Amino acid sequence: MNNLSKGVAYEDQACDYLKKRGFKILDRNVRYRFGEIDIVARKKRELVFVEVKGGSGFIPPRQRITEKKLRLIELAANRYMNTTDERFERCRLDVIEVLDNGSVNHIQGVGKW
């Protein structure tokens, strides 16, 4: 399995995880020239931008997210919010880590607006 298909599989697993917990998936792979959002989801009146990291190894996948990457996701999230007519009470950035053994770690509130 190549890296692209692994990434899609990790994102599919993250979407399934979110749906089972009452989230509605609004968008996937939202791309702007300066950044990308893996998943945009909603739960009640909260908008959640999700960065998905997967794999295994000595270093947990979530630790591969740099400060620069977080800033680019925030820029993309701000652009996304400016292009939607829907209003939300809160917005936040979460990380979902999908491990090769099938387990999922959901880290909520990495960033908030």
Residue 94: predicted pLDDT: 96
Its pTM stands at 0.91
Residue 102: predicted pLDDT: 86
Residue 38: which of 73, 79, 84, 82 has the closest Cα?
Answer: 73
Residue 19: predicted pLDDT: 98
Residue-range domains of the chain with CATH: 3-112 (3.40.1350.10)
Block means of pLDDT (10 residues each) for the chain, 113 residues, are: 80 97 97 95 95 88 90 94 88 94 92 62
